Amino acid sequence: MKKIIKSALFLLCSVCILTACEDDNDSNPVLRTPDSFVMNTPSYATSVVDLKSSTALNFSWQYPDYGFPVSVNYQLQLSVNGKFDKAFNPNLKASDQSVDFITTDAVYQETKGALTGEAFATALQKIALYQESNVPATQKVYVRAFATVKGDTVYSNPITIIVAPYYVELKDAPVEIWYLIGGCIGNGSWTNSKASIGVGMIPLSPIEGQEYDRKTGKGKIGYKGYFPANASFKILEKVGNWDYGMCGDGTDKGTTYRSGGSDPGNISIAEAGYYYIELDTKAHTCTIKKIDDPSSITVFTTFNLPGDYNSWNETSPMTAVETYAGAINHNWTATVTITAKGGVKFKSGTSAYGGTVFPSGVAGTTQVSKIPVEPGTYVVVFNDITGGYTFVEQ
């Protein structure tokens, strides 16, 4: 009888243990990695989509079977042949690549997403490389989604749609520009607004020979100019926002990056003189060095901005930016309206400064090319030491 009771108790304990294990498995499910998931064919797949007039192309897909609900990031990929073998590299020129698919920028957290007609056409241009005079009337495009969870990627089946593409002129992102502001900058007003650019704020400029991220425009930018004794200033990442940019670290010429939070203080320069500032907008680092021998720096009294927009007229001089007490000006500004594509140069006397890049670049007297400009109204700022210039659209 005792043996029977012991056996019964053993069986009962075993059942309890198994039940507990099953409950534990239910509360701690195992993440599965599915082989694929389903991309839905959109209703417009049987029609030709005119990308020029389309506001949005909507896509949807089914939730991958991970075994239980989990947060997923989705992106879309486009291919012209459906092979998805050679991926577009955004860090290289499109014309230097031979690829068959591209990953679009948008990231989705739901099982649906949309691309504007313009975004779709631009992505397609990067892999198809249409010539402006030879764009096909229609193009079959393969579209698939991919899902990412904890570094693991799963791809959907591709679906096909027919689009009417158009030529898109591909351009790198403009160089990311940050702005000086302070009691020793411009008119010294510390006014942080778009209207203050070229008045109380001065842009840093691209550096000759530097390479910039084609997608973001980030990289090294610089500035040369005169600073008075006990200069106090900041370098702002975003016009109108004090929370992001380079501030002081409490030492002479020392800097620290501010990304929100409390203000670390202003950048300070104790000794008067000419200084070179180099700022890496990607790494968020900044160095300030004194120019020991500024004898080669010319102090100009006037600059003009002649160009096709005003029939190369030099009768409207640019305005000196640095007007605070004791300033030595090396920055010039003008507001111009460009009605058609054309070219401009910066000019002082017989010295003409040309360039090849818009809207920010480096001009020089040895550069014979006219700076190419696009239609619009701009505040232009030019540094006569570095030749750096920026056109800020209004």
Structure token pair of residue 282 = 């990607």
For residue 73, give the nearest of 113, 26, 131 by alpha carbon.
113
- For residues 277 and 307, state if they share a domain: no
Here the CATH number for the domain that contains residue 313 is: 2.60.40.3620
Lowest mean pLDDT among 7-11, 26-30, 302-306, 390-394: 7-11
- For residues 88 and 141, state if they share a domain: yes
- For residues 158 and 195, state if they share a domain: no
Outline where the chain has alpha helix (H): 2-27, 117-128
Q: Is residue 6, in this structure, part of any structural domain at all?
A: no
Provide the domain limits for residue 377.
303-393
- For residues 192 and 233, state if they share a domain: yes
Structure token pair of residue 203 = 């842009």
pLDDT over threshold 50, residue 34: yes
103, 129, 164 - which closes a domain:
164
pLDDT over threshold 50, residue 1: no
CA distances 312 to 89, 160, 304, 352, Å, are: 41, 52, 10, 12
pLDDT over threshold 50, residue 242: yes
- For residues 58 and 160, state if they share a domain: yes
Q: Is residue 124, in this structure, part of any structural domain at all?
A: yes
Highest averaged pLDDT of the listed ranges 16-30, 94-108, 278-292: 278-292
234 CB-side CA count, 13 A:
23
- For residues 129 and 218, state if they share a domain: no
Q: Is residue 296, in this structure, part of any structural domain at all?
A: no
What type of residue sits at position 187?
A: N
pLDDT over threshold 70, residue 71: yes
**pLDDT, tens only, 312-370:** 999 889 999 999 999 999 999 999 999 999 999 999 999 999 999 999 999 998 887 99
- For residues 137 and 188, state if they share a domain: no
- For residues 159 and 46, state if they share a domain: yes
- For residues 160 and 190, state if they share a domain: no
Q: Is residue 122, in this structure, part of any structural domain at all?
A: yes
User: How is 247-295 classified by DSSP, letter by letter?
Assistant: EE-SSBT-EEEEESSS----EEE-S-EEEEEEEETTTTEEEEEE-S--T
- For residues 245 and 327, state if they share a domain: no
Binned at pLDDT 50, 70 and 90, residue 199 comes out as: very high
Can you give the pLDDT at residue 18? Answer: 44
pLDDT over threshold 60, residue 258: yes
Backbone phi, psi, residue 27, to 5°: -85, -15
Can you give the pLDDT at residue 311? Answer: 95
| Residue 104 CB-density burial (10 A; 0-12 exposed, 13-18 middle, 19+ buried) | middle
Q: Is residue 47, in this structure, part of any structural domain at all?
A: yes
**pLDDT, tens only, 227-237:** 999 999 999 99
For residue 360, give the nearest of 157, 218, 180, 188 by alpha carbon.
218
Phi-psi region of 84 (alpha: psi -120 to 50; beta: other; left: phi over 0): left
129, 164, 199 - which closes a domain:
164
- For residues 218 and 318, state if they share a domain: no
- Residue 255 CB coordination number (10 Å): 22
Structure token pair of residue 155 = 């791809």
239, 265, 290 - which closes a domain:
290
| Residue 216 CB-density burial (10 A; 0-12 exposed, 13-18 middle, 19+ buried) | middle
**Total domain count, the chain:** 3
Here the CATH number for the domain that contains residue 71 is: 2.60.40.10
CA distance 265 to 315: 43
- For residues 338 and 284, state if they share a domain: no
Q: Is residue 295, in this structure, part of any structural domain at all?
A: no
What type of residue sits at position 373?
A: V
Can you give the pLDDT at residue 29? Answer: 74
pLDDT over threshold 70, residue 392: yes
Q: Is residue 171, in this structure, part of any structural domain at all?
A: no
| Residue 155 CB-density burial (10 A; 0-12 exposed, 13-18 middle, 19+ buried) | middle
Q: Is residue 25, in this structure, part of any structural domain at all?
A: no
